[in-house]
Amino acid sequence: MNYKNFPMVPRVVFGRGSFNQLEEIISPKRLNTKAPFIYLVDDVFKGNTWLTSRIPIAYNDKLHFVSADEEPKTSQVDELVEKIILEGSERPSGIIGIGGGTILDLAKAVSIMLTNNGSAADYQGWDLVKNPAVYHVGIPTISGTGAEVSRTTVLTGPDKKLGINSDFTPFDQVVLDPELTKDVPKNQWFYTGMDCYIHCIESLNGSYINAFSQSYGEKAYSLCKEIFVEDNLSKQESQDKLMMASWHGGMSIAYSQVGVAHAMSYGLSYLLGTKHGIGNCIVFDRLEDFYPDGVKLFKEMKQKHEIELPKNICADLSEDDYNTMIDVALSLEPLWENAIGKNWKKKISREKIKALYQLM
């Protein structure tokens, strides 16, 4: 057995208002006055001076608003890197991502591609990155994905949706300020929060489970229950706890793996552009056979929070479309092995996956 030796985020600050400490935190990391910090900020915050006025821009620092309407693409990473290189004379002192999983993943990928040649697409896979990334900071503004703590940055490339998984991917610094999540719309709060819940269910019920993953997964699971089922927390407590649930859920899958919902959700995302949180919900809602207890509780939470999932999203698909989604889903072999066990190929068929997609 060869156990994974994986890196963790070396520095993290937690607390409401901790975003105000950003200047103090990053100042020592400034290489010189010509080497800027580059801020990648979700464009939902454009004109939101409550947040933007606290971004400590100095010297040649730059702020780019980036849309989170679509999930990050390798071409988008390449364009951002080119822009940063062309607009500055020196390699940046750091990249700072402020937003949800979409922006956090972009920040991680850009920081890697500033020190590694070629296109981001060349590094989709496991341990292909050669040089350490530029210093990078993650500041989540919505909770659930675990992207703030993970060793991957999920990108859609010309021929696959796959992460850049490497020891250089995790953030050097994370700022967890739950107050930044206060204006997340309810549906999005549920979808991204359920990403965390589904991480827990898939990790805790998978064959890769071990005491490390279980300890984090159980904590995240019980926090999700407090937030989404019991629901007697104040708004602030709920925001604080969901931010920590996301962190623990991310830590849990770091040392285990996700499962069927994620594999099939990648298929939807690749073909239809369905975003991660809502895509996971659409798939998970149909996975009673794989995760009976987890799906039962999911349906209760959905009802309690009056969430209506989109229906019939696969209604007009061709045979080729189904095959594309099934190919993407089945290519994620470790996810199936984790969910179903070593001989998963004997237990799951293309027809079964197609039948599930047809229900969505």
Reduced to 3 states (helix: H, G, I; strand: E, B; else coil), residue 25 is helix
- Contact positions toward Zn ion, by CB under 5 A? 195
Q: How far is the CB of 254 from Zn ion (least distance, A)?
A: 12
260-272 and 186-204 are packed helices; what angle lies between their axes, rounded to 10 degrees?
140
- Is the dihedral angle over the CA atoms 24, 106, 123, 327 positive or is it negative? positive
260-272 and 319-331 are packed helices; what angle lies between their axes, rounded to 10 degrees?
140
Q: Are 168 and 132 in contact (CB under 8 A)?
A: yes
Is residue 141 at the binding interface for ligand NAD, with CB under 6 A as the rule? yes
User: Taking CB under 6 A as the criterion, which residues in 150-179 touch ligand NAD?
Assistant: 150, 152-154
Of 239, 262, 133, nearest to 184 by C-alpha is 239
Nearer to ligand NAD, 93 or 169 (CB): 169
Is residue 55 at the binding interface for ligand NAD, with CB under 6 A as the rule? no
x/- map, 184-223, ligand NAD, by CB under 6 A = x---x---x--x----------------------------
Residue 112 CB-density burial (10 A; 0-12 exposed, 13-18 middle, 19+ buried): buried
Nearer to ligand NAD, 30 or 298 (CB): 298
Q: Which of these segments, 97-105, 222-230, 232-240, 296-304, binds ligand NAD (CB under 6 A)?
A: 97-105
Q: How big is the chain, counted in residues?
A: 360
Q: How far is the CB of 214 from ligand NAD (least distance, A)?
A: 19
Q: Residue for token digits 């369905």? A: 274
Nearer to ligand NAD, 92 or 193 (CB): 193
How many C-alpha atoms does 286 have within 13 Å on its Cβ side? 22
Q: How far is the CB of 38 from ligand NAD (least distance, A)?
A: 18
Q: How far is the CB of 349 from ligand NAD (least distance, A)?
A: 27
Is residue 41 at the binding interface for ligand NAD, with CB under 6 A as the rule? no
Q: Which does 138 bind (CB under 5 to 8 A by kind): ligand NAD, Zn ion, none?
A: none
Q: How many CB atoms lie within 10 A of CB 310?
A: 11
Q: How far is the CB of 110 from ligand NAD (least distance, A)?
A: 14
Q: Are 157 and 121 in contact (CB under 8 A)?
A: yes
Is residue 142 at the binding interface for ligand NAD, with CB under 6 A as the rule? yes
Reduced to 3 states (helix: H, G, I; strand: E, B; else coil), residue 102 is helix
Q: Are 37 and 198 in contact (CB under 8 A)?
A: no
Q: How far is the CB of 101 from Zn ion (least distance, A)?
A: 8
Q: How far is the CB of 46 from ligand NAD (least distance, A)?
A: 10
Q: Are 217 and 225 in contact (CB under 8 A)?
A: no
Q: Which residues pair with 45 in a beta bridge?
A: none
Q: Residue for token digits 């359920």? A: 194
- C-alpha to C-alpha distance for 268 and 264, rounded to whole angstroms: 7
Is residue 26 at the binding interface for ligand NAD, with CB under 6 A as the rule? no
Is residue 276 at the binding interface for ligand NAD, with CB under 6 A as the rule? yes
Is residue 76 at the binding interface for ligand NAD, with CB under 6 A as the rule? no
x/- map, 102-131, ligand NAD, by CB under 6 A = xx-x--------------------------
Binding site for ligand NAD (CB under 6 A): 42, 44, 68, 71-72, 99-103, 105, 141-142, 144-147, 150, 152-154, 180-181, 183-184, 188, 192, 195, 275-277
